[in-house]
Structure 1
Amino acid sequence: MEKIEKMIQWMSDRQGKITYSMNARLGPNSYDCSSAVYFALINGNFLPVGTMGNTDTLFSHLEKSGWTQIKADAAGHYPAKKGDIFIWGNRGSSGGAAGHTGIFIDDQDTIIHCNYGYNGITKNDHDTIWAINGYPSVTIYRYGKNENDPLKPQPITPKPKPVPQKTQSELIPMSGIFYPDRQLAVSGDTDPNDTISPALDYYLPKMSIQYDYYTHSNGYVWISYKDYGGNRRFVAVGPDDGRTDTTWGKGFFN
């Protein structure tokens, strides 16, 4: 989309040429994270010239301009794409140093952002920078409403073909320790779209999950364990595609 390209181009044109400042944030020599995104949005004709705000006001400015929040998939991972905008921090309290924002420039989680750490605009791997900053809460916006209407359940791409629910008797014994590379949800069953039994908890990247069984169900591979209360829990660790390089971490056949 031409508007997305123009937005990203504004950031790329200033990479290595400006410095980071929360005081002199309106350019042309310095910006902070949110002012840079605002100027990029203006350059892409998403916002009127003269629009400005901070990380916290960006939530409403995006929503009023046709941007929609994307939802996490069954494993708690956000399937970000080129042109998506991320905001770190909780809405209502993410202004100033409490928040951060930038733009995804590909479908492999590469972001371009104006940041204090490198004193300017740089390109980095989102999850690496996210981890360094302590895994703050994340909101991701995508332009357009058809694909990611927040009032509808979010599809997983590619959407797996539903298969009959596995029972506990079909669990396959295998013990190990899994280390996720992203946030993974803990479930009481293996239905990724179960609204009756939502995520019970989450494992963050590099935490350890000790499991004793695994199973194939609903398009995913799940590891399983019993919690301290004796309840069997399930964690989706990747698509059920017969591959080990698409697993969301290490410790399960890889």
Structure 2
Amino acid sequence: MKLSTLSPLSPPPQPSDALRRSADPIPKPALLAWVEGPGAEGIETPWRLAGITILPASTLLGLRAFEDAYEDQLPGEAPDGSDCMRVIFDLEKLLRMALHQSVLALELLASPAPLQLHAPFNELAPVELAQAAITSGVIRAYRGVLPSTLDAIDAGERMAALSGLRRLYTASLLHRDAVMGTDLGAQLLSCAPSPIAPIVEGWSDGPLRPAQARALKDEARRLDALLDLPGALPERPHDYDLLHETLVAWRLATS
């Protein structure tokens, strides 16, 4: 199984100085990327800044408590001027999340255009870690967005509806070809002509019109039905040893 990523349709937004700075006492992230916020799951902002740091072994040993995830909110720092969440994970926590088929973890590792990429992530491509962890179980995680996506379509909520559709397209590409794609425009370019392409290309902030809602609902159900067919992803992690050995080596190198 070879997992690759689709190129984004356009360059991702660059972080401001505030986004580049780590909140005390977070070590500087070795990987930092925008990941899509779960707009179809009740969180209003589509933006989430996620990163990975590697805590030294001395942090994890002994009696002192330590954090393996740091989260804060940055007012007005998203590219559209809205608030955004920032979450930084220790590598071990992130890899465990990936093994449990966390969409956030896998999409962070498979980000096609990270905002920051420092050693050791420039020695081993993060997508290789996603490739080692991803299984057919991720399809269930992505597929779970269908009910809330249909609800968003019925409510005319354009952003939440397209966010859910993007995840179903990601699931479809993974299921069929073991390809991770997280940009809806790029996904539409990679597949057969889609009835929702004009809706995406003619983006507006207004609510969905009835004809648009019908097209999105039909496409969501079509994509979900495709996931019942035999797929390309393995049932078990492709290379658990790579994840284990990478974590040990990078943790010791940081100490």
- For the aligned pair, the TM-score class normalised by the smaller chain equals under 0.3
TM-score by length of 2: 0.27
TM-score by length of 1: 0.27
Higher strand share: 1
Greater length-normalized contact order (CA 8 Å, ≥ 6 residues apart): 2
In our comparison, the structure showing a higher alpha carbon Rg is 1
